[in-house]
Amino acid sequence: MELDLFVSGIGGQGVQLIGKTIALAALREDRHVMFSGEFGGHMRGGSSVVTVVIGPDPVRALPNLPSAGTAIAMSHSFWEKVGPRLRPGSLILAEETIADALPDTEGHILVRVPALALGTRAGNRLSASMAMMGAFSELTGAIGLQSLEEAMTEQLPPYRKQHAGTNASAIALGAEHIRAEGLSGRHPAPYLAESIPA
């Protein structure tokens, strides 16, 4: 089975970077991947939505998924593009400051992540997206933390390479938060769950 993921937020929050980094990390682990990004009318401040599908076999999903079982919400703005498309019982990782403002979360598993606070603790509030990726990795096991860190470093343009260390710290803090909450591996990616004995 495949893990299908929506990431939503506002342009400038690192939504596209989250999707690209998760996709590249999965490729590094020999998974099959489909990635698609949608932008609003503005580079910053407009809607930003990413779709990622990861599986053990070639992915046959449409680039524009009608539904998904996992979502990352960096902002409540533009959530209407994602929320109604989640299947019942989906996993939602939400920045804790906006989690209560998200509509359409009833019947889903909502995990609050203090991504902004963790990014700030790592050294840059803008690294919140990296903290969210670390939390996603620790919660689902979909990709390893080392693969995430390597993919993140590869994705950074030359003029942002100085942020690699801060981003790596934020990824680690996101994973650490999930461990501290006792949620490590609590919601395994479907292709991992298949191999877990009943």
Residues 58-112 have pLDDT tens digits of: 988 776 789 999 999 999 888 988 999 999 999 999 999 999 999 989 999 999 9
The answer to whether position 198 is within a domain reads no
Higher pLDDT: 43 or 121? It is 121
- Residue 198 pLDDT class (50, 70, 90 cuts): very low
The answer to whether position 66 is within a domain reads yes
Residue 195 has pLDDT above 60, yes or no: no
Q: What is the pLDDT of residue 43?
A: 55
* Domain count across the chain: 1
**Domain limits at 24?**
3-193
The answer to whether position 43 is within a domain reads yes
- CATH for 113: 3.40.920.10
Predicted confidence (pLDDT) per residue in 136-194, tens digit: 999 999 999 999 999 999 988 899 899 999 999 999 999 999 999 999 999 999 988 66
Q: Is the pTM of this model over 0.85?
A: yes
- Residue 197 pLDDT class (50, 70, 90 cuts): very low
The answer to whether position 53 is within a domain reads yes
Are the C-beta atoms of residues 172 and 148 closer than 8 Å to each other?
A: no
